[in-house]
Amino acid sequence: MSRQATVVIVGGGPSGTLAAIRLLRLGWRGLEIVVVEPRDTLGVGVAFSTTEPWHRLNVAAATMTALPDDPDHFRAWAGVAIDAYPNRAVWGRYLGAVLAEAAAGSPARLRHARGRATGLAVVDGRLEVGTDAAGVLEPDAVVIATGNERPAIPAFAAAVAGDPRFVADPWGTRWLDDVPHRAVVGVLGTGHTAMDVASSVLHARPAARVVAISRHGEVPRPHEDPWRPRPPQPVFSVEEFQAFDDAFAEARARVAAHPNGWVQGLDSVRPITQALWRSLDDGRRLRFLTELRREWEVHRSRFGPQTAAEVRGFVAAGRLEVHAAAIRAIDADGGALRLRADSGASWLVDRVILATGPVEDAAANPFLALSMALGTARPGPLGLGIDADPATLRVVDAEGSTDRPVWALGPILRGVLWETIAIPEIRVEAATIAEGILAELA
C-alpha cells in the first residue's frame, strides 16, 4: 500500500509515543506521523524525564513492556530481574529506543514538530490542528494524547503565588538549587509526586527536613516483596459486581478476603477495572469519587519496595513528617513561610512545593479548552478529561458524534475508562487506536 496520509499526534509523552510506535509498526509508505510536542525528546513526558536514581518505577519491570505482543520486552532490554523497580529514566530511554527502532524499520515517516498544539478545529470539512511553531496542520486523522495537566495554584496560596519560596511546578525549574542546606521544606501533597519531591530534597540536603501535608495524610502502600504476578482470575466478575447489594462494600470485602492477601485481591481485578467503571451509572461513579477514591488510589498505585523502605527510613529518622490537615492559608512570616491549617495547626517552613495530583478538568489544558470551545471535543463524564467512545476511543464532539477521525488515549480518558493512567492500559489503547486509524485511512 502507498497511500498519502497524515496522522497528527498531539502530545509526545508516553501515551503519544506508544501510539506513534504502533502506527509505525503497522503503517505503510506514504503515511506520515507528526508528533506535536514541545520537549526535545519524545517519550519521556514528566514522569520519565527525571534523572534522579531514587525516582523509581512504581511497578515491577515485568509489567512495563511497550509492546502488548512481547510481555518481556522491557525487562530483557533493561537487563533486569522481573521483580526489579529500576529508576524511571531507564524506562524513558527504553521508550525512546523502541520509537527509534520502529521509525527505522517502518515504511511510514515520523516527524517531530517541536512546539505546542493550540487547538483542533474543522474548517470546510477538514481537520486543522493549530500549533505555535509549525503553523496549521491539516491531518487525515488526529490522536489526542495530552496527558496530565499540572495542578493550578490553590486559592489558599494566592498570597505567595509570586514568592520565589513557593514552587508551583516541582518538575519545571531548578528550585532545589536554592534550598538552604538546613531548610525545612513544606510539601503540599502526600502521593507519589510529593514523595518524589521529599526524596529529592532529603538526598540533596542531608540536614534538611520535609513536612508533607494533605487532607488525608495517606501515602501509597508498598507492593509485595517479593513481587508476584497477579492471579489469573478476578475475585469477582463484572456481572457479580453489578448484582451486589452494595457493590463497593462487597468488592472491598472480597478483595480483603483474598486467600493470598489484599494486594493479590486488588490486582486480580485490574484486567476488568475499565469494565467495572463502565458498568456504573454516574451516581455510583460520583459516590466512588467522593467516598472511596483516595482509599483506592493509595492501595492501587503503590510504591516499589525500595521506595517504601526509603520513605519509612526518612520518617523513622525524623527527617520526613506526614500530616493530615486542610491548609487554609500560606503567609510570609519573616524570612520564612507559614502554613496554616483549618485545625489551628501551623508549620514554619523555608520553602513550599506544590505536589498535589494533576488537574482532571479538560478546560485546564489550553489545547483541550479551545477544542471544546470549537466543538471538536466535549468534557468527559463527571468532568474528568474529555469524552470518547469507550470501545473505539474515538472522541465525542459537542454534538455527541464520533464521526470525525479523532481519537484519544491516556489520562484524559479518566472519566470514560477510569483505569487509563498506567502503561499496561495505555499500550493497549495505543494498539486499538492505531488499528482503527489505519483501517479507516486504508
| Residue 212: pLDDT over 80 | yes
Q: What is the pLDDT of residues 307-348, one digit of tens each?
A: 999 999 999 999 999 999 999 999 999 899 999 999 999 999
Least confident among 44-53, 68-77, 384-393, 423-432? 44-53
Residue 394 and residue 68: Cα distance in Å, rounded?
21
| Residue 35: pLDDT over 70 | yes
Q: Which CATH number fits domain 155-221+302-354: 3.40.50.20, 3.50.50.60, 3.90.226.10, 3.90.1150.10?
A: 3.50.50.60
Confidence of residue 27 (pLDDT cuts 50, 70, 90): very high
pLDDT score for 428: 97
pLDDT score for 116: 97
Coil/strand/helix, residue 49: coil
Determine what percent of the chain is predicted with pLDDT higher than 90.
95
Mean pLDDT of 405-424: 97
What are the start and end residues of each CATH 3.50.50.60 domain in the chain?
5-149+359-441, 155-221+302-354
If you ran DSSP here, which 8-state letter would residue 403 be given?
A: -
Is-contact 185 349, C-beta < 8 A? yes
For the chain, what is the mean pLDDT? Answer: 96
Q: What is the pLDDT of residues 399-413, one digit of tens each?
A: 999 999 999 999 999
Longest CA–CA span in the chain (Å) reads: 70
Residues 6+ apart with CB under 8 A from 337: 160, 163, 165, 166, 186, 330, 331, 348, 349, 350, 351, 352
Is-contact 404 397, C-beta < 8 A? yes
| Residue 105: pLDDT over 80 | yes
Q: What is the pLDDT of residues 239-258, one digit of tens each?
A: 999 999 999 999 999 999 99
Edge-to-edge strands of the sheet including 109-113?
Answer: 109-113, 31-36, 5-10, 141-144, 406-408
Q: How far is CA 282 from CA 2, 249, 289, 383, in A?
A: 45, 18, 10, 11
User: Do you know the residue count of the chain?
Assistant: 442
Residue 350 and residue 185: Cα distance in Å, rounded?
6
DSSP 332-382: EETTEEEEEETTS-EEEESEEEE--PPB-BGGGSHHHHHHHHTTS--B-GG
Question: Which set of grid coordinates corresponds to residue 166?
Answer: 513557593
HEC profile for 110-167?
EEEECCCEEEEEEECCEEEEEECCCCEECCCEEEECCCCECCCCCHHHHHHCCCCCEE
Confidence of residue 1 (pLDDT cuts 50, 70, 90): low
| Residue 237: pLDDT over 70 | yes
Confidence of residue 3 (pLDDT cuts 50, 70, 90): confident
Determine what percent of the chain is predicted with pLDDT higher than 70.
100
Query: Per CATH, the architecture of 5-149+359-441 is what?
Result: 3-Layer(bba) Sandwich (3.50)
